[in-house]
Amino acid sequence: MHQYSQPIRECIIDMKSVQPDTEVAPLTAIKLLFSDGLVELVNLIIAICLCRFTGMKTRGDFSSAFYFSAASLIPFCLGLFFNTERYGCVVDSSGDLLAGGDSVMTERQFPVSVLFHLIVTGCYYFMKMNMGQCNKNLYAVERLRKEFVQSKDSKKKN
């Protein structure tokens, strides 16, 4: 959430302070806000999907809709991160974006939801693997117990 608030805050400051006499149309302002922080917006959507996935009451697996949507957005988010630049939100009197304006922009941070996705994937993978091993061991113990009871009953009959 913090990563998304930073470009939004800087864009609003650019629109208000750099050109105070220029009125920006609401639709143009919304377009500027979303385009300048698109990486962070996708980052936020991935984080929300992963939080919903980990907060499911029933045990989720990798075919869950929340996990699948987060996993499908990861390449898109990384592509945007490495292939787009932030230009700021300085507009001229006609409402067009001025590239290379006087705005001071902070450096874009690596999308934290990609790391969150790696952690969740690793945890769920190892939990699934260990639960499978636990079920296998439990089945072996149950089978051994049944064989022991059967052998005990057969000894009593003899």
**Which among 77, 90, 17, 18 is positioned nearest to 45, based on CA atoms?**
77
Asked if residue 123 has pLDDT above 80, the reply is: yes
> What's the pLDDT at 96?
60
Question: Using CA atoms, how far apart are residues 99 and 136, in angstroms rounded to an integer?
Answer: 61
Q: How far apart are CA 150 and CA 128, in angstroms?
A: 33
Residue 68: both structure tokens together: 């699948």
pLDDT value, residue 136: 93
Q: What is the percent of the chain where pLDDT is above 90? A: 29
Based on the structure, what is the number of domains in the chain? 1
pLDDT at 99 over 80: no
pTM reported for the whole predicted model = 0.71
Cβ atoms of residues 91 and 19 within 8 Å: yes
Q: Domain range holding 128? A: 2-157
pLDDT at res. 50: 92
Q: Is 58 helix (H, G, I), strand (E, B) or coil?
A: coil
Rounded Cα gap, residues 74 and 151, in angstroms: 56
